Structure 1
């Protein structure tokens, strides 16, 4: 199946188990970069008006509540509480495969997911790709939703995303702002 162009009208962002306690468990990504990418993905949903679904175990469970930075971004957004907590090789893999079985196109923001080790993360991602999941990054999704700078309704939000959550683009835009003065 050839993936469709993603638009806010034909997609949703589903975020699974971005809990504080997983910061002590996974080692596939730098924690601060992982949290940054996770928040960038949530903000992308907000900037482009994309439905956002948050799932997690109970706040009092072994892995605790959502990352505080993610919770600050999503405010009082409802979190769907599930039984059990797993990381990329568990819940994300199972959810992606279930989505494919139900006929959905499934995209995985690989930089906003993590695993116990880099190898475990990579194997889970490869398993999903073999099944038909399309790997992306949160910034590639934001860029696709933005399309071009002619979409004036969202360009400021998009530029803000890049400035706040992409170190390279943030420095580029800061440099342009300094030169423009």
Structure 2
């Protein structure tokens, strides 16, 4: 199938169950890694003005609230609290929000990769959406279960990406892009880049041209 780039006009971001209680169960990534990837993806969605559909379990569910840092980034973005069902499309409010977004490409991330993210992603594919799985904003109990779930989704037609790849594809480059300086600030969520002052200074230089 021909590649059609992600753009601010054809894409939406979907975040599933990034909750404090679930984060204590993950082993495929550290909590810090998952938090950084999730925050960067949410910030990129805000920066590029992408529709952002966020869902979690019931507010009194043992999995607990969203990451507090994520809730802060989301601001007034509504959170769809669905019953404890794994495929979010089985919730009418979620399905309606996806349809209302009017975007063909769904950039999806969640906890756990092998359960709620996988089942929701598979249904999205069945409904004709192009699904992008953000692997560093998703997590599961073990690396094996995370990787296997990603492989399952890829075999069904999903495209694996990380948050930086998503943002870079939409931004297109550092030069002559008004949003480049703000996107460059998301580097704080890449620890290996954050401490490379030479790289970050160079990015800032080109982003302001």
Secondary structure class of the residue paired with 1:95: helix
TM-score (norm 2): 0.80
Shift of 1:175: 6.0
Shift of 1:27: 1.0
In structure 1, distance between residues paired with 2:122 and 2:199: 43
Tell me if 1:167 matches 2:191: yes
Shift of 1:173: 4.3
Assess if the C-alpha contact under 8 Å between 1:17 and 1:85 holds in 2. Answer: no
- 1:1-181 correspondence to structure 2 within 5 Å: 1-84=1-84, 87-162=112-187, 164-173=188-197, 177=201
In structure 1, distance between residues paired with 2:29 and 2:85: 18
Assess if the C-alpha contact under 8 Å between 1:26 and 1:117 holds in 2. Answer: yes
Secondary structure class of the residue paired with 1:28: coil
Shift of 1:28: 1.0
Assess if the C-alpha contact under 8 Å between 2:56 and 2:79 holds in 1. Answer: yes
Gaps of 5+ in 1: none
Gaps of 5+ in 2: 87-111
In structure 1, distance between residues paired with 2:183 and 2:65: 28
Q: CA RMSD in A?
A: 1.8
In structure 2, distance between residues paired with 1:133 and 1:176: 32
Residues matched between the structures, number: 178
**Are residues 176 and 11 of structure 1, via their aligned partners in 2, closer, same or farther at CA, if it must alter by over 3 Å?**
closer
TM-score (norm 1): 0.91
Q: Give runs of ≥4 in structure 1 deviating > 6 Å.
A: none
**Are residues 90 and 173 of structure 1, via their aligned partners in 2, closer, same or farther at CA, if it must alter by over 3 Å?**
same
Shift of 1:106: 0.4
**Are residues 76 and 176 of structure 1, via their aligned partners in 2, closer, same or farther at CA, if it must alter by over 3 Å?**
closer
Shift of 1:97: 0.8
